[in-house]
């Protein structure tokens, strides 16, 4: 039997890898996911995680988790921990390969000394503002720094003193000596090190110079023996610099490959903007269920399977595009449809009194959680009694022709229970319906027709005496515009925040089995949507459920509108 080595996903990246394996550039595949611990992971990161871990898995290779922690002022341990939790939740495992760029600070410093010795790096005394002016523009070449021709000895001395803390922040930098006239701005003597007297969450005050991203990233990849360093498109112009570092130092040469980042409609994906939403209180935190963060999506009820399936479906490409939120939701519904237990919950309760049912009487129905597979489905006991709640919207006193649910004199089926007929309506002083009186047909037990007579409506319900009181949170998109950055001049993306993105329902009535619900378990509240227990605000005896997503799939409609 021959082993099948064809990757399950094939795309331009696997094409490059195949070529490398064939021409002997590499004999293995080793990728990494390199988050900067300055925020929580979002669905865009999930695309990169699925890609890096997925591709390595397909080739029997390995993936490292490496924190790119070269920016001590914005990084926090909280982020380091949440990032690991989120990747594990997505279903990926870096085994014992958890690394930090800060682990390499010593080695990166030695590499810098080597570049200086080769005459390929120099200490520059230009201020940040001067650096910018000397850099030139896309149309004008830059100017050489007056410090560019310092001797190797002077550079070594100054760089060591930078490290020793002799100079204030911003007073000097270490720069690569490449080409101030290069059409690629990244090659115009980029800064390798800056002075920053800041506490680092791992190295404390050991360092007061910190390496810049491009330098640290290329060399961290090399140190770890990463074969394929997959990153987003905006780093394409940085690749010549990435290659320059590795070539000048003559170290292991990883291949950088760029792909288009994920953008989603109705969503901002920049950590800076997400942090702004958190700090300014537009959301309750990074894990607010409206956030595109993995922790928010998890709390909302997204499953890792749905997110991985979504990443597979969107694939990878070289062209930036914006994916419709409806596609993500479609994939989510697909997944929840298969795994969510069907239960009954009344969102806006209206009491129904069944006059011919015994006052103290009660009975239970054994109801399968997966009604389409009664044979194999687990079941639960659903209690029934004289007083029940139905959905207020399932009753109309004066119904139009097409309304098939409950109305005076009308008979409907209570799902899995009985046929009932509405006999009278009670109202308050404002004419508001307060409760309904009905009779039931004892011969219709289980919701079966006793004599072949048909009813057109089937309602969900909850026994009043047994109901579990719960708070429900219904969500809409966080922004009103498909592109949140689409604002009139002088505006801000926050102008597009949707004021109605959260609707709280405080008096929902749930079937009692939901008292056993656990965090992460998906449910379909029949006819109402998919829900899951909120992991943060639920307290003993006071459950809060998040609506993950409604039942209406707008993706099909969108596709139809596009004439597909």
List residues near ligand ATP by CB under 6 A. Answer: 34-36, 44-45, 47-48, 231-232, 261-262, 269-271
Measured over all CA atoms, what is the biggest interatomic distance in the chain, rounded to whole angstroms? Answer: 102
Which of residues 18 and 36 has its CB atom nearest to ligand ATP in the complex?
A: 36
Which of residues 44 and 304 has its CB atom nearest to ligand ATP in the complex?
A: 44
Closest CB 32 distance from ligand ATP, rounded Å: 9
Which of residues 67 and 134 has its CB atom nearest to ligand ATP in the complex?
A: 67
Q: In the structure encoding, which two tokens stand for residue 259, read together?
A: 């792909």
Q: In the structure encoding, which two tokens stand for residue 94, read together?
A: 């870096």
Which of residues 313 and 556 has its CB atom nearest to ligand ATP in the complex?
A: 313
Closest CB 272 distance from ligand ATP, rounded Å: 6
Helix 304-314 / helix 43-58 crossing angle, nearest 10 deg: 80
User: What count of other Cβ atoms lies within 10 Å of the Cβ of residue 555?
Assistant: 17
| Torsion 411-414-418-420 (CA) sign | negative
d(CA 352, CA 124): 81
Closest residue by Cα to residue 300 from 531, 1, 46, 135: 531
Closest CB 230 distance from ligand ATP, rounded Å: 7
Closest CB 47 distance from ligand ATP, rounded Å: 4
3-class DSSP string for 290-304:
CCCEHHHHHHHCCCH
Check: CB of residue 549 under 8 Å from CB of residue 529.
Answer: yes
**CA distances for 224 relative to 37, 101, 409, 447, 538, angstroms:** 19, 10, 76, 64, 43
Task: Give me the half-sphere count of Cα atoms (radius 13 Å) on the Cβ side of residue 378.
Answer: 7
Which of residues 208 and 262 has its CB atom nearest to ligand ATP in the complex?
A: 262
Q: In the structure encoding, which two tokens stand for residue 171, read together?
A: 């007073």
Contacts of 172 (CB under 8 A, 6+ apart): 123, 124, 125, 158, 162, 195
Q: Is residue 562 flagged as an active site residue?
A: no
Which of residues 44 and 484 has its CB atom nearest to ligand ATP in the complex?
A: 44
Which of residues 271 and 460 has its CB atom nearest to ligand ATP in the complex?
A: 271
Closest CB 151 distance from ligand ATP, rounded Å: 37
Q: Is residue 392 flagged as an active site residue?
A: no
User: What count of other Cβ atoms lies within 10 Å of the Cβ of residue 320?
Assistant: 13
Annotated catalytic residue, options 9, 120, 261, 342? 261
Q: In the structure encoding, which two tokens stand for residue 124, read together?
A: 């520059």
Closest CB 287 distance from ligand ATP, rounded Å: 16
Closest CB 231 distance from ligand ATP, rounded Å: 5
Annotated catalytic residue, options 32, 188, 202, 271? 271
d(CA 324, CA 267): 10
Q: Is residue 36 flagged as an active site residue?
A: yes
Instruction: Name the residue whose CB lies closest to ligand ATP.
Output: 44
Closest CB 37 distance from ligand ATP, rounded Å: 8
Contacts of 431 (CB under 8 A, 6+ apart): none
Closest residue by Cα to residue 510 from 555, 462, 558: 462
Annotated catalytic residue, options 36, 154, 236, 326? 36
Torsion from C-alpha of 98, 45, 184, 75, nearest 10 degrees: -60
Which of residues 219 and 231 has its CB atom nearest to ligand ATP in the complex?
A: 231
Which of residues 264 and 497 has its CB atom nearest to ligand ATP in the complex?
A: 264
Specify the DSSP class assigned to residue 370: S
Closest CB 80 distance from ligand ATP, rounded Å: 11
323-350 in b/e form (b: 16+ CB < 10 A) is bbbbbbbbbbbebbeeebbbbbbbbebb
Which of residues 260 and 425 has its CB atom nearest to ligand ATP in the complex?
A: 260
> DSSP 3-state assignment of 384?
strand
Closest CB 177 distance from ligand ATP, rounded Å: 27
DSSP string, 463-521: ETTTPEEEEEEEE--SBSSSSTT---TT--GGGGB-TTSEEEEEEEEE-GGGGG--TT-
Mark residue 250 as left, alpha or beta (left: phi above 0; alpha: psi -120 to 50; beta: remaining).
Answer: left
Active site residues: 36, 261, 271
């Amino acid at each position: 039997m021959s082993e099948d080595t064809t990757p399950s996903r094939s795309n331009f990246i696997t094409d490059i890898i195949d070529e490398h394996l064939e021409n002997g550039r590499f004999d293995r595949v080793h990728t990494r996911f390199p988050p900067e611990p300055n925020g929580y992971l979002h669905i865009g990161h999930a695309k990169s995680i699925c890609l890096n871990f997925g591709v390595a898995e397909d080739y029997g290779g390995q993936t490292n988790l490496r924190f790119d922690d070269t920016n001590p002022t914005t990084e926090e341990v909280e982020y380091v921990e949440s990032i690991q939790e989120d990747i594990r939740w997505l279903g990926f495992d870096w085994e014992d390969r958890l690394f930090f760029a800060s682990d390499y600070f010593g080695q990166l410093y030695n590499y810098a000394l080597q570049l200086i010795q080769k005459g390929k790096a120099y200490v520059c005394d230009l201020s940040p503002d001067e650096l910018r002016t000397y850099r030139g523009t896309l149309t004008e070449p830059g100017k050489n720094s007056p410090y560019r021709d310092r001797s190797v000895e002077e550079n070594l001395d100054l760089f060591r003193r930078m490290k020793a803390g002799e100079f204030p922040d911003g007073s000097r930098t270490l720069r690569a000596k490449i080409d101030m006239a290069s059409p690629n701005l990244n090659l115009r003597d980029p800064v390798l090190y800056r002075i920053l007297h800041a506490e680092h969450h791992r190295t404390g005050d050991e360092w007061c110079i910190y390496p810049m991203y491009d330098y640290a990233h290329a060399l961290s990849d090399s140190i770890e023996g990463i074969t394929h360093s997959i990153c987003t498109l905006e780093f394409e112009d940085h690749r010549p610099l990435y290659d320059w570092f590795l070539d000048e130092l003559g170290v292991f040469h990883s291949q950088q490959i760029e792909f288009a980042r994920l953008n989603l409609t109705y969503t901002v994906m920049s950590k800076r903007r997400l942090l702004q939403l958190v700090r300014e209180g537009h959301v309750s935190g990074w894990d607010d269920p409206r956030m595109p963060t993995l922790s928010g999506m998890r709390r909302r009820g997204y499953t890792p399977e749905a997110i991985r399936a979504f990443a597979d479906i969107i694939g990878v490409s070289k062209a930036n595009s914006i994916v419709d939120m409806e596609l993500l939701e479609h994939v989510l519904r697909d997944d929840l449809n298969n795994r969510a237990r069907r239960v009954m919950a009344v969102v806006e309760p209206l009491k129904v009194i069944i006059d011919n049912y015994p006052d103290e009487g009660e009975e239970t129905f054994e109801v399968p959680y997966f009604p389409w597979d009664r044979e194999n489905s687990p079941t639960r006991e659903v209690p029934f009694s004289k007083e029940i709640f139905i959905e207020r919207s399932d009753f109309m006193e004066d119904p139009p022709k097409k309304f098939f649910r409950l109305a005076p004199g009308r008979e409907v089926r209570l799902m899995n229970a009985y046929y009932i007929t509405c006999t009278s309506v009670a109202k308050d002083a404002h004419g508001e319906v307060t409760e309904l009186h009905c009779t039931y047909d004892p011969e219709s037990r289980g919701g079966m027709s006793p004599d072949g007579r048909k009813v057109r409506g089937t309602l969900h319900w909850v026994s009043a005496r047994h109901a579990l009181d719960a708070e429900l949170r219904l969500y809409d998109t966080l922004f009103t515009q498909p592109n949140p950055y689409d604002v009139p001049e002088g505006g801000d993306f926050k102008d597009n925040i949707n004021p109605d993105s959260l609707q709280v329902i405080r008096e929902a009535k749930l079937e009692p089995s939901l008292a056993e619900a656990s965090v992460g378990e998906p449910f379909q509240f029949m006819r109402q949507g998919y829900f899951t227990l909120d992991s943060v605000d639920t307290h003993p005896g006071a459950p809060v459920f998040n609506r993950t997503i409604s039942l209406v799939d707008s993706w099909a409609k969108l596709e139809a509108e596009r004439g597909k």
